[in-house]
Every structure is written in structure tokens, then in C-alpha cells.
Amino acid sequence: MQIGVLGAGRIGQTHIINLAELPGVTEVLVYEPDANAARRVQEVATVCSSAEEVFTRSDGVVVATPTSHHPEDVRAVADAGLPCFSEKPISLNLADTEATIAYAAAAGIELQVGFHRRFDPGFLKMRRAVESGDLGELYLIRAACHDYEPPHESYLPTAGSIFCDMHIHDFDAIAWLSGRTPIDVVARGSVLVDEMFARYEDVDTSAAIMTLEGGALAMLTGTRQNGVGYDHRTEVIGSRDALSAGLGPQMPLRSADPGVLQPVDPYPSFPVRFHQAYAAEMAAFVDLVAGEGPNQCPGSAAEDALRVALAADLSLARGSAVRIDEV
């Protein structure tokens, strides 16, 4: 099987490497207009001269271009009649997201979205505990998204807000883990890491509380810089059990209690922390292309998560709670 990839930036490289290691993939075909980025993957992939060449030679295509290009690129894949994997978000605009999903559906193609936490072993175990009842009554979900280092300023103009770029993963994961629809959100934020975020009308330190269907609460915190490492973990707390994904010897959080072991080789970045999840995500897409597995993260997930993210943006601007159905 031949899988195409549009874009060889940071996340594109991660997908390319994982695809090249899958036994069912005979060739990874990449189109990346930046020559330097293309050179970085030429040892594991075939670099093509155009997107059209990728479409002609591929059985399915991964869209890992900048966010602003996603709608156009997904439509091009749909026009080629190929199964498509799109990195999140499909768009920062809800109407564009809905239109792109509808376009893919009208073309009759499968559209999988890049919410990798659905494929993380810890997240999968937590979801099973919730679904089976082993967790008991779900009370709380708590998520931490604390990056080790802030992104380069060149990333910010098209990335979207901290809620649309970073926390959108949490918004998807919380709904998926709980099986419950978010009802409302209260969001707060500050600029504490770098004034460059203010130049793009964004914050770099964030917190939000969501009410879920049935009354359970979900809380999340975020920062673009954590001095110890890349600390992205989520907890589910119920009447019978409490579980965490990301809690382990590499978790970048030091204990102040005497005699407690400190983190060893803390996670430095998302490809390391979520290596297993990213690999499983690409394996699931390859199974989807081959007709051997279901779509485990359909396009509708992008619309649902973006709606919550936009509600969080609105809450931050208003300084009050916002119902998700207002967006």
C-alpha cells in the first residue's frame, strides 16, 4: 500500500516516520514545497514534485499542512476519490469545517481527523473503565496541557488560539472519554510566558471548567512553557476508581515531599510523550484505507471539538460562562 502525505513540518514528519515503519505500507509519498523540510524526510519517503503526483500514486492521503490549508487540501483529496486523514483542526472556522466535512461525505470518501489521544493506551484504558462501569459514577475529569517550550513566533499567525490549537485535543478527549456532551464552559487566560502571544490576541496560560451532560465536571489547565518538560496528562475520577494517563516516571512534575522519586528523563515534546498514540493513529488510518477497520475518529469529531474551543474563546472574551449551543 502507498500512502501520501501533504506537508513535512513537525507533525508531518512524525506521521511520515510512523507510516514508513508500518509493515503494510510499501511506500510513503510526500509533497512538501519547502525544500529543507522535504530533505529531512527523503531517507524514509519518496519526495514528489506536486500534490497531484501524490494523489495519482497513493491509496490514501494524510493532510499535515498548515491549518489554513486544511479545507482546500481535504477537498483536493476528496476530488481524487481517496480516503483522507486530516490533522486537527480541519479549520478554525466552524462554517468551513462543516462545509469541508460535507464535501468529503458527498464525495463518498472516509475522513479521519487527527485526535491522537483516542489511540493512546492510557486514554483507551480510562475510556474502558468509564464505559464498563468499573470507574463507577463519573465525577471529574482533569486535564493538564503544559508544553515544555513555547512555539516559534512564526507558528502563531495561523495556529489559532490556545483553545483552538492546544486544548482542542482536550475538548475531544473529554467528550470521547466520558461519552457525554459538554454543556457549557468557563475559560480564563493570561499572558505570562511571552508577550508575543498578546501580539496575536492570544494567551499563553489558560484554565477552563466544563459542565458535562449529567453534571460531571471537567477541568483543564494549559501553559506554553513548563520548566520541567512536556506535561500532558488526563485524569478520570469516579465513585469506584481514579485513573490517570501520563502519570509515570517521565511525567514532568517534581514532588516536594521528602523521599519521593523524581522524574527521570521527563518528556521533552509531543512526539515522545504520545509516540505510541501517533503510531497507532496511523496504523488505524492504514486499516481504514485497506477496508480492514472502522473510522475511529470521523470528521464530526473536529466539528464538535471546535465548537467547544470557540465557546471557550467567547467565554474568555466575555468573562462569563458560555453554553456550547450558543456557538
Exposure string over 122-133, b if 16+ CB within 10 A, otherwise e: bbbebbebbeee
Does one domain contain both 125 and 233? yes
Inside any domain, residue 278? no
Write out the H or E segment, with its range, that includes residue 76: helix 70-79
Residue ranges, the chain, pLDDT below 50: none
Amino acid 245: pLDDT: 98
Provide the pLDDT for residue 49.
97
CA–CA distances in Å: residue 222 to residues 63, 79, 111: 26, 38, 29
pLDDT reported for residue 208: 98
Cα-based angle 280, 284, 289 (whole degrees, multiple of 5):
145
The end-to-end CA distance of the chain, in Å, is: 41
Which residue range is the domain that position 253 belongs to?
118-269+305-326
> Does some domain include residue 53?
yes
Q: Looking at residue 239, what is its pLDDT?
A: 98
Which triple of cell numbers denotes residue 293?
A: 477497520
**Structural domains counted in the chain:** 2
Cα(33)–Cα(49) distance, rounded to whole angstroms? 8
> Which H or E run includes 177?
helix 168-178
Q: How many whole angstroms separate alpha carbon 224 and alpha carbon 294?
A: 34
Query: 141 with 81, same domain?
Result: no
C-beta atoms surrounding 81 within 10 Å: 10
Give the pLDDT score at 320: 98
> Residue 261 sits in a domain of what CATH number?
3.30.360.10
Could you count the other beta carbons within 10 Å of the beta carbon of residue 51?
19
Best CA proximity match to 276, nearest among 87, 112, 121: 121
Same domain, 139 and 70: no
Does 152 lie in the same domain as 51?
no
